[in-house]
């Protein structure tokens, strides 16, 4: 990092909010940050043992602020979308505690997809044609005459599972019905399907500047060949190979426009911006924005981060970010998710897990685990994110699959085609 080390605050105490694989990866990156001496995670997870003090508790604005005050932390990093949408950052700011993440108003970019699409339209950000609806009948009428395939999205937060790509009008009608059955005040976004490779660009943002991290590609359906129901994400490759032209367009036509647009509307964006993109014949288009690190993208991207994450977060909070502060190792990273049997509909909990001994340049991030006495067990849908770093993507995939094969987890679901979309082939050691 290009900063005078003497002026850097040292011995920082950092509180991380969340308890999944993304937060485990954030904690791991902080554990390598030379300015950090103490990490607390609420609620945290069993995988963080030895890196962070895990403190149980709700993720409400009041509870997180009280914990941050009681622990005297210098910085709070919020992982998941729900506390951001609930206003945790606003409460921390009001208490004078440096907090990395967007305010409640800025987190609408993720939390309200109808607002987010309207924002993109106002600022001419490339995205699919769409209409949004707050009532069932007009939504059904629109969906049933829309050219196929058509994409039906719940406008609210649904942990990455509120999107259906519909290949028949009957499917589209069902998806619309399902969204309005969830909540009376639901809103639905109906948009044109975009063809192309999908990728994720995460960017550190300080309210004015957006500095991208290496691009990644998630694999969102449960089954190989991109089939089956949507999940939170089943595996990631990083870097995803973007052309120089696409990289430039993403910066100038998307990231920079978001920063200017949000500032001009009085809601400057600070934190990590997640741009979910489709690389179409007309150039990169936005599929969705999220207001946080992706999960499992964070588990692939953050192990490559060489800069001090706490210093980057403080620079963003202070409006002092510059591109030369953000350094990543010129390596490749792969993540393979081990999910519980039954995921995403009804994941089985309580399945005993046995983990292999730690290996260099790899991590087993805990996404949904718990301790029953001494026994580690599954506790969520996505249970473990097995990550490996290597000089090439094929080698990283080979190492990640090899490590995943050593995990004891009866009935685990795992996609064996992570990286295949771009022609990557796991390289056997």
Contact 34, 309 (CB under 8 A): no
Pick 113 or 146: Cβ nearer ligand GLY: 113
Q: How far, CA to CA in Å, does 242 sit from each of 198, 259, 278?
A: 11, 22, 12
What's the sign of the alpha-carbon dihedral 297, 302, 303, 306? Answer: positive
Nearest to 304 by CA among 366, 378, 393, 371: 393
Pick 53 or 158: Cβ nearer ligand GLY: 158
Positions that interact with ligand GLY (CB under 6 A): 160, 218, 232-233, 290, 294-295, 297
Helix (H, G, I), strand (E, B) or coil at 90: helix
Distance CA 332, CA 216 (A): 10
Distance CA 334, CA 418 (A): 8
Nearest to 99 by CA among 124, 79, 71: 79
Pick 228 or 356: Cβ nearer ligand GLY: 228
Pick 236 or 312: Cβ nearer ligand GLY: 236
Pick 36 or 163: Cβ nearer ligand GLY: 163
Distance CA 190, CA 165 (A): 10
Pick 191 or 297: Cβ nearer ligand GLY: 297
CB of 224 to ligand GLY, least distance (A): 17
Pick 44 or 79: Cβ nearer ligand GLY: 79
CB of 153 to ligand GLY, least distance (A): 13
CB of 287 to ligand GLY, least distance (A): 10
Please state the φ and ψ torsions of residue 77, each to the nearest 5 degrees. Answer: -115, 120
CB of 50 to ligand GLY, least distance (A): 26
CB of 128 to ligand GLY, least distance (A): 17
Q: How far, CA to CA in Å, does 70 sit from each of 13, 15, 74, 101?
A: 12, 11, 12, 21
CB of 231 to ligand GLY, least distance (A): 9
Pick 12 or 274: Cβ nearer ligand GLY: 274
CB of 320 to ligand GLY, least distance (A): 27
Please state the φ and ψ torsions of residue 11, each to the nearest 5 degrees. Answer: 55, 45
Q: At what angle do helices 113-122 and 256-264 cross, to 10 degrees?
A: 100
CB of 10 to ligand GLY, least distance (A): 32
Q: Quote the Cα angle for 305-340-202, to 5°.
A: 25
Pick 207 or 233: Cβ nearer ligand GLY: 233
DSSP percent split of the chain into helix, strand, coil, nearest 5: 30, 30, 40
Q: Quick one: 23 exposed, middle or buried, by C-beta within 10 A (0-12, 13-18, 19+)?
A: buried
CB of 385 to ligand GLY, least distance (A): 11
Distance CA 26, CA 19 (A): 10
């Amino acid at each position: 990092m290009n900063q005078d080390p003497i002026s850097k605050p040292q011995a920082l105490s950092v509180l991380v909010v969340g308890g999944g694989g993304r937060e485990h990866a954030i904690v791991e990156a902080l554990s390598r940050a030379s300015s950090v001496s103490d990490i607390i995670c609420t609620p945290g997870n069993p995988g963080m043992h030895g890196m962070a003090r895990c403190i149980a508790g709700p993720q409400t604005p009041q509870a997180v602020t009280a914990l941050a005050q009681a622990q005297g932390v210098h910085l709070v990093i919020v992982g998941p979308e729900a506390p951001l949408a609930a206003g945790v950052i606003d409460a921390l700011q009001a208490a004078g505690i440096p907090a990395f993440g967007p305010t409640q108003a800025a987190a609408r970019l993720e939390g309200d997809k109808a607002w987010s699409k309207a924002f993109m339209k106002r600022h001419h950000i490339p995205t699919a044609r769409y209409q949004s609806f707050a009532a069932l009948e007009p939504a059904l009428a629109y969906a049933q005459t829309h050219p196929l395939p058509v994409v039906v999205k719940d406008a609210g937060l649904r942990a990455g599972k509120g999107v259906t790509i519909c290949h028949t009008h009957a499917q589209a009608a069902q998806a619309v019905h399902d969204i309005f059955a969830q909540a009376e005040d639901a809103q639905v976004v109906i948009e044109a399907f975009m063809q192309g490779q999908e990728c994720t660009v995460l960017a550190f943002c300080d309210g004015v500047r957006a500095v991208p991290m290496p691009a990644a590609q998630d694999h969102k359906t449960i089954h190989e060949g991109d089939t089956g129901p949507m999940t939170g994400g089943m595996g990631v490759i990083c870097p995803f190979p973007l052309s120089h032209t696409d990289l430039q367009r993403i910066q100038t036509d998307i990231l920079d426009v978001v920063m200017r647009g949000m500032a001009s509307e009085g809601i400057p964006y600070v934190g990590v911006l997640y741009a979910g993109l489709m690389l179409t014949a007309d150039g990169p288009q936005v599929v969705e924005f999220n207001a946080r690190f992706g999960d499992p993208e964070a588990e692939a991207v953050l192990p490559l981060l060489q800069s001090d994450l706490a210093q980057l977060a403080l620079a963003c909070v202070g409006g002092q970010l510059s591109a030369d502060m953000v350094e990543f190792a010129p390596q490749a990273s792969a993540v393979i998710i081990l999910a519980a049997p039954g995921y995403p509909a009804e994941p089985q909990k309580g399945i005993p897990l046995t983990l292999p001994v730690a290996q260099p340049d790899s991590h087993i991030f805990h996404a949904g685990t718990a301790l029953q006495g001494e026994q580690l067990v599954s506790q969520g849908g996505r249970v473990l994110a097995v990550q490996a770093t290597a000089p090439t993507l094929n080698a990283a995939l080979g190492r990640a699959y090899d490590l995943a094969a050593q995990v004891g987890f009866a009935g685990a679901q795992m996609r064996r085609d992570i990286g295949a979309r771009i022609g990557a082939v796991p390289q056997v050691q």
